[in-house]
Amino acid sequence: MSIRKRSDREYAAHLQGTLDLLILRTLVLGPQHGQAIARAIQSQSDNVLIVDHGSQTFSLYGNLLDMAVAKGARVDRGEVVGHVGLSPSGPAGLYFELRVDGHPVDPLQWLKRK
């Protein structure tokens, strides 16, 4: 058996297929404890939130309809951080990215229930 690292494009394709099933206004929950370090309002339904989980691990949430945490606030596992908004192409969809040491990683391990 061989193991290879997925490319950024493969992760994006994987996430796109998984997250297209989301419905507008679906709750978005924090996958792990952290601190909200950045918030950006880009349009009515395209808000961006970045959470620092420590050890150079960050989660980014895009296409949020709204954000339920303030910059600097602690985010607990399972806490509502916002609601799904519209993607730039029109349908509802969440952009979720997990980065470790500045590199995108497969977020599925973080999204599993414990």
d(CA 81, CA 53): 14
d(CA 114, CA 95): 23
Amino acid at the residue 54: G
Q: What is the pLDDT of residues 61-107, one digit of tens each?
A: 988 889 999 999 999 999 999 998 877 777 778 888 889 998 888 87
Of 88, 90, 42, the C-alpha closest to 66 is 42
| Cα dist from 50 to 1, 6, 11, whole Å | 36, 23, 18
* Residue 87 neighbours by CB distance under 10 Å: 19
d(CA 114, CA 110): 9
What per-residue confidence (pLDDT) applies to 108?
76
What per-residue confidence (pLDDT) applies to 8?
45
Q: What is the CA radius of gyration of the chain?
A: 14
pLDDT cut 70: percent of the chain above it:
74
Asked: is 27-111 a CATH 2.70.70.10 domain? The reply is yes
